[in-house]
C-alpha cells in the first residue's frame, strides 16, 4: 500500500504540472521526487539539475550514487542561475520554509529576538527574496502545525507574498506566483479572495477542522475531495527515483496514505 | 619595470591586508573556499574585518575567532550540516553586525562594484524585510514605465581571496570543476585579489594551454599568487577532492562541546599550513575525499 509520503510526492507532481519549459527545483526528498515524477509523466518540459551544476533529462535518483552516474544534457551552474532561471522567470521551486503566514510570506532567516541578536539564527534568506519576486513557488511542509503556519506575520519576511502592507508604490509585484502548499494533512492553494489560502484537497481520513486547528490563521474550505492516491505507474517511478527509500524517513512514523481505522 | 612575478607566501598575502578591511571570500558554502588563506588570517592579528561571502566554514571560523565586525551574507551553511554552528553562535550572541542579502542581490552588488557603479537596480528584496533591515534604498526608472526598484549598492572589496586549481607566476588562473560560483566577480569587485592554487606553474601557456577556457578572470585582476596544495580543505574542490565530512562533524560538535574556539583553534587551524595538512592526513588523504553528490 502507498505511504503518505508517496501520496505527497504525487501531489507535488501535480503542483508542478506545466506546458512550459522551465526549471523545476524541489528542495528536499519529497519535493525533488515530485518534480522528477512530473517530468517523467505529464510535464516533460520541466528541466532539472543534478543538484550541482548540470541539467539532466533523466532525473537523478536521490541518495548515495557514483559521482558520474548522472548524465549531463546541459549546464546550469550557480554562476548563471540568476541569469538563466531565476530572473528570467523560467523556474518553479518548492521549498520548506520554517514559517509561513496567511499572505504566503515565508521565513528562512531567523526566529525571535532582534535583527542584531536573533533568538535562533537559521540559514539566511538564501535565494528566497529573488525566487519570490521573479518566479512560481510552492511549499512542502512535512509537519503541518501552528508553529509553521503562524498567526500574524512571519518573524522575518524572507520571501514576499500577497501582503498589501508590504508593497510600495511603483514596485512591480506582477510575477509573484504562489502555487501550492503540500503538507502531511492536505493540499492548499492561494485561490481565495486577495489570494487567501484555501484547502483544496484533504489527504484520506483528514478533516477540514483538523487542518484548521493545526493552522495559525483562517483557511477557506474549498475542498473538492480527497488528495488522489498515487497510481501503480507513479509508485514504480517514485521507487526508481528513490532506490534507497529515503522518502520513508521524511514523515514522522512513515504513515500509510490511508489512515488506519483504529 | 615590473617583472609580473606575483608570487607571494600566504603570510605575505595576509601581510598586505589590514584590520578593518572589507574582504570578499570566493566559493559557495562548503565548496571551493580559499581555506589556506583563511587559515593564514586566523593565524594573524587581523581583526574588525567586514567579510563578504557566500558563507561556509570560512565565515564560521572567522566569526568564532572574533575576527569579524560585520558580515555581508545570503546564507552560511555546510550543506550536509545545514546550519553553520559557529556562525549561529556568533549571531545568537549578537556578536557581529550583518547585512543580509538574497543570493542574487549579492552577486549583483559584486557586479556593480566590478563595473564601478554605485548600485544596480533590481526587483529582488521588494516585499521582504531585507530592504529595511539592510538600509537599502529604492530608485525609480527615469523612463515612461516609472518602475520603483531596489538600488543594490556596490559591494566594493578591499581585497578578494580565491582558490583555484592552477595559476602561473603572472596570475593566469585556471579554475576547473563543474561550477566556479561568483569567484570571477569577487576578483573584479576587489582593489586587490589574491589567489591560492593547488598548482603554481611558471607559465600557463607552457603548462596547460589546452585549458585556456578555464581562465576565469584575466590576470590584470590578480595581485598576488601562492601555491596551496589542499588549499580548499575542508571544503570541496571538484574534480580534485570532495569536502571532508568527518572534519565538518568534529568542527560542528566542537561548537557545542567545548563550545570555546580558543581551546580548539589549534586543531582546526594549525600552527602552519604544513602542520595543518599533515594533521588531516596530507594530500594523499585529501585527494581521496569522495566528491559529494546532491
pLDDT tens, position by position, B70-125: 999 999 999 999 999 999 999 999 999 999 999 999 999 999 999 999 999 999 99
Length of chain A: 262
The helix-helix angle for B261-269 and B35-42 (nearest 10°) equals 140
CA A7/CA A235 separation, integer angstroms: 9
Give the pLDDT confidence score for residue B54 in this predicted structure: 98
Provide φ and ψ at A177, rounded to 5°: -145, 85
Give this complex's ipTM. Answer: 0.96
CA B193/CA B26 separation, integer angstroms: 10
Nearest to B31 by CA among A32, A16, A70, A77: A77
Whether omega before B258 lies within 30 degrees of 0, making that bond cis, reads: yes
- State the Cα angle at A69 between A63 and A71, rounded to 5°: 120
CA A138/CA A93 separation, integer angstroms: 6
- Would you call A129 and B75 a contact, using CB atoms and an 8 Å cutoff? no
**Which tens digit of pLDDT belongs to each residue from B200-219?**
999 999 999 999 999 999 99
Q: Is the dihedral of CA A165, A168, A170, A173 positive or negative?
A: negative
Cell 517523467 -> residue? A40
Which of B122, B124, B216 best probes binding to A when mutated, by most A CB atoms within 10 angstroms?
B124
CA A132/CA B68 separation, integer angstroms: 30
Residue B147: its chain A contacts at CB < 8 A? 170-172
Domain CATH code at residue B283:
3.40.1080.10
**Which tens digit of pLDDT belongs to each residue from A92-131?**
999 999 999 999 999 999 999 999 999 999 999 999 999 9
**Which tens digit of pLDDT belongs to each residue from A124-173?**
999 999 999 999 999 999 999 999 999 999 999 999 999 999 999 999 99
Mean pLDDT of chain B: 97
B254 Cα distance to chain centroid: 23
- Would you call A52 and B101 a contact, using CB atoms and an 8 Å cutoff? no
Whether residues B74 and B134 share a domain: the answer is no
**Given strand B137-140, what is the order of strands in its sheet?**
B119-122, B148-153, B137-140
Whether residues B186 and B198 share a domain: the answer is yes
Checking if the pLDDT of B291 tops 60, the result is yes
Give the pLDDT confidence score for residue B264 in this predicted structure: 97
Of B55, B102, B182, the CB nearest to A127: B102
- Determine the 3-state secondary structure of B158 from DSSP: strand
> pLDDT above 70 covers what percent of chain B?
99
Using the Cβ of A28 and the Cβ atoms of chain B, whether some distance falls under 8 Å is answered with no
- Is residue A262 very low, low, confident or very high in pLDDT (cuts 50, 70, 90)? very low
B177 occurs within a structural domain: yes
- Is residue A260 very low, low, confident or very high in pLDDT (cuts 50, 70, 90)? confident
- Would you call B127 and A115 a contact, using CB atoms and an 8 Å cutoff? no
Whether residues B215 and B88 share a domain: the answer is yes
User: Distance from B278 to chain A by nearest Cα, in Å?
Assistant: 27
| Segment holding B97, helix H or strand E | strand B97-100
B190 occurs within a structural domain: yes
Whether residues B147 and B37 share a domain: the answer is no
B111 occurs within a structural domain: no
Whether residues B130 and B200 share a domain: the answer is no
**Which tens digit of pLDDT belongs to each residue from B139-194?**
999 999 999 999 999 999 999 999 999 999 999 999 999 999 999 999 999 999 99
Q: Where are the domains of chain A?
A: 4-249
CA B32/CA B17 separation, integer angstroms: 21
Of A120, A126, A129, the CB nearest to B125: A129
**Which tens digit of pLDDT belongs to each residue from A172-202?**
999 999 999 999 999 999 999 999 999 999 9
Residue A115: its chain B contacts at CB < 8 A? 98, 133
- Would you call B123 and A118 a contact, using CB atoms and an 8 Å cutoff? no
Using the Cβ of A158 and the Cβ atoms of chain B, whether some distance falls under 8 Å is answered with yes
Whether residues B93 and B140 share a domain: the answer is no
Look at the domain A4-249 and name its fold: Glutaconate Coenzyme A-transferase (3.40.1080)
Cell of B164: 583555484
User: Distance from B268 to chain A by nearest Cα, in Å?
Assistant: 23
The tally of domains found in chain B comes to 2
Residue B181: its chain A contacts at CB < 8 A? 77-79
DSSP-assigned states of every residue in A80-139: GHIIIIITTT-EEEEE--SEE-TT--EE-SEESS-SSS-SEE-S--TTHHHHHHHSEEEE
Whether residues B161 and B144 share a domain: the answer is no
Query: How many CB atoms lie under 10 A from the CB of residue A21?
Result: 11
- Would you call A64 and B146 a contact, using CB atoms and an 8 Å cutoff? no
CA A154/CA A131 separation, integer angstroms: 17
| Segment holding B184, helix H or strand E | helix B183-189
B110 occurs within a structural domain: no
Give the pLDDT confidence score for residue A1 in this predicted structure: 87
Mean pLDDT of chain A: 97
**Which tens digit of pLDDT belongs to each residue from A240-257?**
999 999 999 999 999 999
Q: Is the dihedral of CA B239, B189, B56, A27 positive or negative?
A: negative
**Which tens digit of pLDDT belongs to each residue from A23-80?**
999 999 999 999 999 999 999 999 999 999 999 999 999 999 999 899 999 999 999 9
B196 occurs within a structural domain: yes
Whether residues B142 and B212 share a domain: the answer is no
Whether residues B86 and B123 share a domain: the answer is no
- Residue B101: closest C-alpha in chain A: A125
Domain limits at B30? 10-100+156-287
Nearest to B92 by CA among B247, B259, B210: B259
Which of B78, B120, B126 best probes binding to A when mutated, by most A CB atoms within 10 angstroms?
B126
Cell of B235: 571544503
Whether residues B134 and B277 share a domain: the answer is no
How many angstroms separate the most distant Cα atoms in chain B?
63
- Would you call A78 and B28 a contact, using CB atoms and an 8 Å cutoff? yes
B109 occurs within a structural domain: no
Cell 534604498 -> residue? B137
Nearest to A53 by CA among A71, A70, A75, A25: A75
In chain B the first and final C-alpha atoms are separated, in Å, by 49
For B102, residues 6+ apart whose C-beta sits below 8 A from its C-beta are A125, A126, A127, A128, A129, A130, B74, B124, B125, B128, B130
Whether residues B165 and B236 share a domain: the answer is yes
Amino acid at each position: 500500500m502507498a505511504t503518505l509520503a508517496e501520496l505527497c510526492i504525487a501531489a507535488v507532481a501535480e503542483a508542478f504540472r506545466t506546458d512550459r519549459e522551465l526549471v523545476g527545483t524541489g528542495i528536499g526528498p519529497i519535493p525533488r521526487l515530485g518534480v522528477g515524477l512530473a517530468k517523467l509523466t505529464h510535464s516533460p518540459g520541466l528541466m532539472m539539475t543534478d543538484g550541482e551544476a548540470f541539467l539532466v533529462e533523466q532525473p537523478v535518483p536521490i541518495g548515495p550514487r557514483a559521482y558520474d552516474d548522472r548524465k549531463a544534457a546541459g549546464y546550469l551552474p550557480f554562476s548563471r542561475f540568476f541569469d538563466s532561471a531565476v530572473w528570467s522567470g523560467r523556474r518553479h521551486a518548492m521549498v520548506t520554509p520554517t514559517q509561513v503566514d496567511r499572505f504566503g510570506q515565508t521565513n528562512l532567516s531567523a526566529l525571535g529576538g532582534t535583527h542584531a541578536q536573533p533568538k535562533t539564527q537559521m540559514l539566511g534568506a538564501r535565494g528566497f527574496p529573488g525566487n519570490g519576486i521573479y518566479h512560481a513557488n510552492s511549499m512542502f511542509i512535512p509537519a503541518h502545525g501552528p508553529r509553521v503556519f503562524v498567526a500574524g506575520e512571519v518573524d522575518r519576511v524572507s520571501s514576499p507574498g500577497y501582503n498589501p502592507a508590504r508593497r510600495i508604490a511603483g514596485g512591480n509585484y506582477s510575477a509573484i506566483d504562489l502555487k501550492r502548499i503540500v503538507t502531511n494533512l492536505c493540499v492548499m492553494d492561494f485561490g481565495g479572495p486577495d489570494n487567501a489560502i484555501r484547502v483544496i484537497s484533504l489527504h484520506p481520513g483528514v478533516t477540514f477542522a483538523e487542518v484548521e486547528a493545526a493552522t495559525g490563521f483562517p483557511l477557506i474550505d474549498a475542498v473538492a475531495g480527497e488528495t488522489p492516491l498515487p497510481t501503480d505507474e507513479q509508485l514504480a517511478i517514485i521507487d526508481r527515483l528513490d532506490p534507497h527509500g529515503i522518502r520513508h524517513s521524511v514523515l514522522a512514523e512513515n504513515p500509510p496514505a490511508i489512515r488506519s481505522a483504529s | 619595470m615590473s617583472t609580473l612575478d606575483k608570487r607571494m607566501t600566504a603570510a605575505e598575502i595576509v601581510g598586505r591586508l589590514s584590520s578593518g578591511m572589507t574582504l570578499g571570500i570566493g566559493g559557495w558554502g562548503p565548496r571551493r573556499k580559499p581555506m589556506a588563506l583563511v587559515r593564514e588570517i586566523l593565524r594573524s592579528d587581523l581583526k574588525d574585518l567586514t567579510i563578504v561571502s557566500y558563507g561556509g566554514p570560512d565565515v564560521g571560523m572567522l566569526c568564532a575567532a572574533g575576527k569579524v565586525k560585520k558580515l555581508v551574507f545570503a546564507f552560511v551553511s555546510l550543506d550536509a550540516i545545514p546550519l553553520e554552528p559557529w556562525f549561529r553562535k556568533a549571531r545568537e550572541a549578537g556578536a557581529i553586525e550583518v547585512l543580509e542579502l538574497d543570493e542574487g542581490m549579492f552577486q549583483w552588488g559584486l557586479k556593480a562594484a566590478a563595473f564601478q557603479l554605485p548600485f544596480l537596480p533590481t526587483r529582488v528584496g521588494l516585499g521582504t524585510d531585507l530592504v529595511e533591515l539592510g538600509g537599502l534604498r529604492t530608485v525609480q526608472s527615469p523612463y515612461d514605465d516609472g518602475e520603483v526598484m531596489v538600488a543594490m549598492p556596490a559591494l566594493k572589496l578591499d581585497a578578494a581571496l580565491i582558490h583555484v586549481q592552477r595559476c602561473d607566476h603572472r596570475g593566469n588562473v585556471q579554475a576547473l570543476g563543474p561550477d566556479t560560483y561568483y569567484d570571477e566577480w569577487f576578483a573584479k569587485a576587489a582593489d586587490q585579489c589574491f589567489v591560492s592554487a593547488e598548482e603554481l606553474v611558471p607559465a600557463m601557456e607552457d603548462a596547460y594551454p589546452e585549458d585556456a577556457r578555464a581562465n576565469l578572470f584575466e590576470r590584470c585582476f590578480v595581485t598576488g599568487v601562492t601555491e596551496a596544495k589542499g588549499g580548499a580543505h575542508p571544503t570541496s574542490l571538484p574534480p580534485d577532492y570532495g569536502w571532508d565530512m568527518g572534519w565538518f562533524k568534529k568542527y560542528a560538535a566542537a561548537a557545542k562541546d567545548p563550545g570555546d574556539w580558543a581551546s580548539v583553534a589549534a586543531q582546526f587551524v594549525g600552527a602552519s599550513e604544513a602542520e595543518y595538512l599533515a594533521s588531516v592526513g596530507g594530500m594523499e588523504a585529501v585527494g581521496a575525499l569522495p566528491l559529494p553528490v546532491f
